[in-house]
Structure 1
Amino acid sequence: MISATDIIIDDTTLRDGEQTAGVVFSRSEKLAIARMLDSIGVQEIECGIPAMGRDEQDSIRALVELGLAARLITWNRALVPEIRASLDCGVTAVDISLSVSDQMIERKLKKDRCAVTEQLKAALGFAKDHHLYVSVGGEDAGRADLSFLVELLEITRALGGDRFRFCDTLGMLDPFTMFERVAFLRAAVPEVAIEVHTHNDLGMATANAIAGIRAGARFVNTTVNGLGERAGNAALEEVVMGLKHACAIDTGINTHRFRELSLMVAKASRRHLPAWKPVVGKRVFAHESGLHADGVLKDPYNYEGFDPAEVGLSRQIVVGKHSGCSGMIERYRKLGIVLSRPDADLLLPVIRHEALRRKRDLKDRELMEIYLAGAALLQAA
């Protein structure tokens, strides 16, 4: 079984997350996010792109000065000047990225595969000569020829690279294909650890990240709330909880602050956190329908896969159009009103009618108004 020590979370909220169109983090926000990521046990933080200039470099130096337990890693193109800029920031780990699909090599770089291999040799050689920990980032690896990827992994192994980042840059893979390709690369060059970097263009970033881990990847990129280019990256909270509860793989991350972390990043990014957001949305543990509310009141595990407190949330019993008596009785109990089952039967049609009229569930004040208006009816009954 895969254990917590086998999986390294590399969170890239401060790099790929900030590359979400229109998102900018202030330096104080970056420091706060990094501190919280570190405090919950995230092992590695991709903290920025030194080649962007002085402001970015100063922010990275400030992060280095925090003395976090998490390793800080910067993102660079596989170019010596950019790696040198990372060295000047004081980091000890770099990702050096280069395009690896024929589509990008020919149509973006206007080069050939030989040029890419030579670029990798020069950049990786320089980085290792300067004693850096190196992740070789394969941009668009998801669309690359597998034999060429093996060649790049062999170069990575020969020159002392520490891992290879398999990037589904366009989010076009499905979990089955992700599993097959990562498993193939692990078997072909077992000495080089694999990292998976997934995008959510087809809504499969989390599934692909987990598939990559199941196939043997040891490192996984995430962002808080799934921020990132276009449709975003695999969400930290989803990957961690998915591994824990769907795969029985505990990453060792303290999940109890996930809601707090998500709200912090939502505020800093000015990107609203949907109420239905998996794992951390404020209503993902809200129950309205009569069947579900009754079941969860009898035993939460009837309709909850894990305790909401595990991610910093709490259960909500919602009263609305689809409510039954059990949920309504429980909601009134929390308002200090004890309803008998016959009383609940009398009020339920009124509740449902009001919810239908308002097109939403009912608030405490409205429930009290309905109860008081119906008090005479209840007494007569």
Structure 2
Amino acid sequence: MQNRDNKKLWETSPFSDEAHHGSRFPQMVRVADCTLRDGEQQAGIVFTKQDKVDIAHALDRLGVYEIEAGTPASSDEDRQAIEEIAGAGLKAKISALARGRRDDIDLVAKTGAYAARLSMPISAIQRVNKLKLGDEEYLKLAREMTEYAKERGLAVIFSPYDTTRSELPLLRRLLEQFNRDKTVDRVRIVDTTGCATPQIIGFLVREMKKVTDIPIEIHCHDDFGLAVANTIAGVQQGAEYISVTVNGIGERSGNASLEETALALKVLYGVDCGLDMSKFVEVSRLVEERSGITLQAHKAVVGRGAFSHESGMVVAGLLKEPFTAESYVPELVGQKRDVVLGKKSGVASVDAKLKQMGIAVPSEVLPDILKKIKEEAVRTKRPVSDSRLRELVGASAVSP
């Protein structure tokens, strides 16, 4: 429970301290947003150069620490967008993705990005089928590419993707090599096919922390709906960076949602990612518009129905004390509360909605209006709109 301007912002479980005992949260958690790279890799999404620039500015206003702006090798437009973003004077650091190739690294360096995200698959199934590399060849290529990126003046974020299906001995050897060579600034755990559990991510972070002090980033996919939980599990064991996307867009079922992960860390775990969370809805709507991916109405945090209430019992409690129905105030994330009238509404709901709309009616007619509302909702299988409510109230309204 926190206060802003002496207003209670949330009311969560009293069991937090006991349940989270033993957590190893780092002192600071930073957001490395990859909406412009992995987000765009969702089938059917195309961001233009201007889309990318506009979203980058929005992410910067949000307070994101780092923006993974794209893959310069993928297209000229992507490269130009990264160049413009990197030269825009944003507070956020700008990184770009490169495969384990010198020409890819050269392209990243030319964009003006501060870091190359070297993406090289580490699991046997990926290495054999994509790179045809054995363990020794993989370690050799990793050394050569990280050294070359450093020579080009870039920070290096190494992404041994499909980490969650890798062999632990090879992962340990890779980290030990990075310790010796001093060529890597961060290592990203990648749950490429979204097959990990929170316990697996936590285990990997603990094992990696035994071998290296290099900061760890968590990048999870949502194939089992666990991306946010997995990301938090990594942070809970000491990972310092979270790789997330606005609205959770990304390959297949998407990535860990920026807004869900950051809000949960702040409210449920007391870990601040340095974001202005009141801008969540604003940034979400921009990405929704530019990506063409319409959010489900009940999407957590930023969905249009995330703070809509219809049930009569729920609304009756909400009117007396909002925390009977909500864990945090909608304004915290740029939302507004809404009372929806329909089949499940009660008299208190109707009274509150009419007052909100500035319509006065005698209290004795409220049950009759409620009956009409329920009948209308059943007939149309939809909630009653404000305009239709005015019609249903009709002559019952009291003249001012």
TM score, norm. by length of structure 1? 0.94
What does the per-residue CA deviation read over 1:73-119, in whole Å, with 9 as the maximum and x for residues that have no partner? Answer: 01011222211111111222111011101111223322211111111
Displacement of 1:164: 0.7
Query: What is aligned with 1:10?
Result: 32
Cα separation, partners in 2 of 1:53 and 1:348, compared to 1, 3 Å: closer
User: In structure 2, how many angstroms separate the alpha carbons of the residues matched to 1:248 and 1:340?
Assistant: 47
Query: What is aligned with 1:176?
Result: 199
Displacement of 1:276: 1.2
Question: Contact 2:365–2:396 (CA<8 Å) still a contact in 1?
Answer: no
User: In structure 2, how many angstroms separate the alpha carbons of the residues matched to 1:182 and 1:4?
Assistant: 12
| Matching residue's letter, 1:106 | V
Matched, 1:29 2:51: yes
Question: Contact 2:106–2:152 (CA<8 Å) still a contact in 1?
Answer: no
Cα separation, partners in 2 of 1:360 and 1:106, compared to 1, 3 Å: same
State the secondary structure of the residue aligned to 2:160: strand
Displacement of 1:305: 1.2
Query: Could you list the runs of 5+ residues in structure 1 that have no partner in the other structure?
Result: none
User: How many residue pairs end up in the alignment?
Assistant: 375
* 156-165 vs 205-214, greater mean Cα deviation: 156-165
User: In structure 1, how many angstroms separate the alpha carbons of the residues matched to 2:74 and 2:164?
Assistant: 26
What does the per-residue CA deviation read over 1:200-255, in whole Å, with 9 as the maximum and x for residues that have no partner? Answer: 11111111111111111101101111111111111111111111112111111001
The structure showing larger relative contact order (alpha-carbon pairs under 8 Å, at least 6 residues apart) is 2
Mapping of 1:295-334 within 5 angstroms?
A: 295-334=317-356
What does the per-residue CA deviation read over 1:135-189, in whole Å, with 9 as the maximum and x for residues that have no partner? Answer: 1101100111122111111122222211111000000011122112212211x22
User: In structure 1, how many angstroms separate the alpha carbons of the residues matched to 2:366 and 2:319?
Assistant: 16
Query: What is aligned with 1:147?
Result: 169
Matched, 1:280 2:319: no
Question: Contact 2:202–2:237 (CA<8 Å) still a contact in 1?
Answer: yes
User: In structure 1, how many angstroms separate the alpha carbons of the residues matched to 2:71 and 2:393?
Assistant: 59
User: In structure 2, how many angstroms separate the alpha carbons of the residues matched to 1:206 and 1:62?
Assistant: 31
User: In structure 1, how many angstroms separate the alpha carbons of the residues matched to 2:26 and 2:382?
Assistant: 42
What does the per-residue CA deviation read over 1:43-70, in whole Å, with 9 as the maximum and x for residues that have no partner? Answer: 0000111222433222211111101111
Question: Contact 2:122–2:166 (CA<8 Å) still a contact in 1?
Answer: yes
State the secondary structure of the residue aligned to 1:99: coil
Equivalent of residue 367 in structure 1, options 389, 393, 397:
389
Question: Contact 1:156–1:164 (CA<8 Å) still a contact in 2?
Answer: no
Mapping of 1:101-180 within 5 angstroms?
A: 101-160=123-182, 161-180=184-203
Matched, 1:62 2:90: no
Runs of 4+ in 1 over 3 A off after TM superposition: 1-5, 338-342
Query: What is aligned with 1:81?
Result: 103
* 38-47 vs 80-89, greater mean Cα deviation: 80-89
State the secondary structure of the residue aligned to 1:6: coil
| Matching residue's letter, 1:84 | D
Query: What is aligned with 1:52?
Result: 74
Equivalent of residue 208 in structure 2, options 185, 189, 197:
185
State the secondary structure of the residue aligned to 1:158: helix
User: In structure 1, how many angstroms separate the alpha carbons of the residues matched to 2:55 and 2:142?
Assistant: 32
User: In structure 2, how many angstroms separate the alpha carbons of the residues matched to 1:333 and 1:57?
Assistant: 54
| Matching residue's letter, 1:182 | V
Query: What is aligned with 1:197?
Result: 219
Displacement of 1:333: 1.2
State the secondary structure of the residue aligned to 1:330: helix
